[in-house]
Structure 1
Amino acid sequence: MRQGPLCLLLVMLSIGAPALAEETPLSLSAGSQITELQQRLKESERLREELSKQLQSADAERESPQLARVRQENQRLKQQLKETQASSTPRLLTEQQQWFITGGGVALIALLCGIFASGGHRKRRQWLN
């Protein structure tokens, strides 16, 4: 190994070791600042909690009339739905089936009208002369 990097490593270790060994004691002003900041933090947290509660109550007060209107509307619509379901009888036939029956009835009436119009007897008619 080369002497240059080894010497550099030793010099760096010798300089860094005493710097790490020294611990700077906290001064009284730093300790008082820490306690003051902790007190301010607690006060800020308390104020934040109070403001969040006020905001929630303000939101609740503002939404209360809207919520009441929506609930009334919901109840009214439920009542209308119940009345409509109670008043309407269940349909036996679908719309397509009703049209089919109507068409069959018209065809039957036309057949009967044709039979009665001919007089009930058959005449032999010749189309060719």
Structure 2
Amino acid sequence: MRPVSWCLVLTLLASSVMSLSAEGEEAADSTSQNLALPSTATQLNDLRQKLADSERQRQTLVSQLQAASAEQQTIVLSRLRQENQRLKLQLKESQSVMPLRVLTEQQQWFVAGGGVALIALLCGIFASGWRRQRRQWLN
């Protein structure tokens, strides 16, 4: 035979040996998986039960938290209502003690300016002596 054909035969032989060894490993893996399946299934069931328990505990804690926050909100709301009533009473008391202002500061200044203008007009009328004189420009 030729040397090339010997190489071809050796390559085919090596590949067949490798495929046989791979099949043997797969068979060994499948038997070990078959043996491991029951333990994996029990672990999976245990984990599912733990998950269900954890979910139940989470739900109870969430409901307790909501109840506590609702209770706290009602307490805060009642305190705010009491404080609001107290402040309303304080406002009424302070308004009854202080007299109401008739004019604002700006209106007071306007009235004062009008009074000064009226006084100046009266002083001008009295200073002229009520006489009417015709005044003309001298050319």
How does the TM-score come out when normalised to structure 1?
Answer: 0.52
Distance 1:99 1:71, change over 3 A: same
**Whole-Å Cα distance in 1 between the matches of residues 38 and 122 of structure 2?**
119
**What are the within-5 Å matches in structure 2 for residues 15-34 of structure 1?**
17-22=19-24, 23=26, 24-27=29-32, 28-34=34-40
Aligned residues, how many? 96
**Whole-Å Cα distance in 1 between the matches of residues 61 and 23 of structure 2?**
52
Provide the residue aligned with 1:62 in structure 2. Answer: 68
- Which has the greater radius of gyration? 2
Distance 1:64 1:20, change over 3 A: same
**Whole-Å Cα distance in 1 between the matches of residues 120 and 77 of structure 2?**
63
> What is the identity percentage for the equivalent residue pairs of Structure 1 and Structure 2?
14
Shift, 1:118, TM fit: 5.3
Provide the residue aligned with 1:111 in structure 2. Answer: 117
**Structure 1 gap ranges (5+):** 1-9, 84-97, 124-129
**Structure 2 gap ranges (5+):** 1-10, 89-103, 130-139
Task: Describe the superposition over 1:76-125 as per-residue Cα deviations: whole angstroms up to 9, x where unpaired.
Answer: 49x88xx9xxxxxxxxxxxxxx55443332111011123334562327xx
**Whole-Å Cα distance in 2 between the matches of residues 68 and 112 of structure 1?**
64
**Whole-Å Cα distance in 1 between the matches of residues 22 and 46 of structure 2?**
33
Provide the residue aligned with 2:57 in structure 1. Answer: 51
Provide the residue aligned with 2:101 in structure 1. Answer: none
**Whole-Å Cα distance in 1 between the matches of residues 21 and 59 of structure 2?**
51
Letter matched to residue 32 of structure 1: P
